[in-house]
Amino acid sequence: MSRLHSWWQQPAQFDSMTAFLRQRELLRPAQRIMAAVAVFSAFAPWSMLISQREAQTVVSLAASAVISAFTLLLAVFFLIRWPSRRQSAALALTGTVSIAAWSLMQPWPAIAALGCTALAVTGAYLAVFHSTKALTFNFAVAIGTAAVAAHRLAEVADMTTAVMSFWLVCFPNIAVGLGIWGLAHAMGIYAQRAEQDPLTGLLNRRGFIDTIARSSAKPTPDQTHLAMLMVDIDDFKRINDTHGHAVGDQVLLAVADLLREHTPSAGVICRSGGEEFLIAVHSGAADHESLAAQLCAAIAQLPHRITASVGATTTELHRMRGSDRSGVLEQLVAAADAAMYAAKRSGGNQARYAPALSG
């Protein structure tokens, strides 16, 4: 029961999956794929519209026309833009209800049963991008629609045909949804771990750059500057050589915890390599010197008898809204790094500040 409850409480993966696709420049191909899926989804209602079968009713023809228009608009939408999380959920759940309604409105029980299989498409999309609650809703609609279609089929055929029809509809809907959810969940965990430092749990350099680039694109009104701080533990090689790497790891963990404690909630922290840490903070002013001094003093108070050199710089946040966000970030990192080495050459256990970057 605990595993089922844990599965049920899984959050939507839309934001993380969208970020994953965008970072790897796969968002545009994903848009084209979704547009193609929407166009192919219109084949069944199109075929009903051009069919000359007399059994069709005004209701079934109207349903086919509405679904055809919806799928075409959906294809155009995906070609133009990628949806927001709410738009995505609304479109997918509308698709679920539309497929079920179209299937139930068909005058032929066999076509009604076949139409239910298309719910595997909406289930797959929900499994990749949205919560298990939304996926369960798709399951419920698929099973309910398949049951109604099977009951109608039993009246014109036989019970064996109806039961097989029900199973052939439910099996792909549930199996595909659960299978794709498992793969998407595993991929999400892999993507998260690929951006984490395995020892400290902080972001690694790539994850740090990507996170800052995303957050800087949509700052809050009170955020006007981006500060960058480089923290380097002084004489860390001596710690490893004298006390061993296990003690060195304990020092790194202690510093990582201290940085989490002292960095503002809007800040982003990473272990950029070895004994070096990077911190980026959005703020309403170019005041980054106090934070650098606080971190330097706090590290010196750790029981491990260590000190750190801290370099800091800042820039106006509007520079992060251009196309060269990564380039600006790299400049900030280089400036903070140069300031940190200036502190280290002066004896360590101090903070140095590079001039604010402008441009």
Q: Give yes or no for a contact between 177 and 127, defined as CB atoms under 8 angstroms apart.
A: yes
pTM: 0.69
| pLDDT for residue 256 is more than 80 | yes
Torsion of CA 50, 55, 60, 64, to 10 degrees: -20
Lowest average pLDDT, out of 211-215, 266-270, 342-346, goes to 211-215
Q: The tokens of 147 are what?
A: 């049951």
The 10s digit of each residue's pLDDT in 285-324 is 656 788 899 999 999 999 888 999 999 999 888 777 766 6
Quote the CA–CA distance of 259 and 299 in Å, as a whole number.
9
- Rounded distance between C-alpha atoms, residue 357 and residue 359, angstroms: 7
**CA dist., res. 233 & res. 274, Å (int):** 9
Helical H segments across 24-57, by residue range? 27-41, 43-50
Confidence (pLDDT) at 81: 94
Q: How many CB atoms lie within 10 A of CB 288?
A: 23
**Residue ranges of the chain that CATH labels 3.30.70.270:** 205-353
b (16+ CB within 10 A) / e for 26-62:
eeeebbeebbebbbebbebbbebeeeeeeebeeebee
Across all residues in the chain, what is the average pLDDT?
Answer: 87
Which of 20-34, 135-149, 205-219 reaches the highest mean pLDDT?
135-149
Residue 234 has pLDDT above 90, yes or no: yes
Report the SS3 class of residue 68: helix
Among 48-62, 136-150, 155-169, top mean pLDDT goes to: 136-150
pLDDT at res. 340: 95
Token look-up 């949509």 returns: 218
What CATH number was assigned to the domain covering residues 205-353? 3.30.70.270
Structure confidence by residue, pLDDT tens digits, 45-56: 888 777 756 667
pLDDT at 359: 63
> So what's the pLDDT on residue 349?
93
Q: How far is CA 17 from the centre of its chain?
A: 3
Percent of the chain with pLDDT over 90: 48
What element of type H or E holds 278? strand 276-283
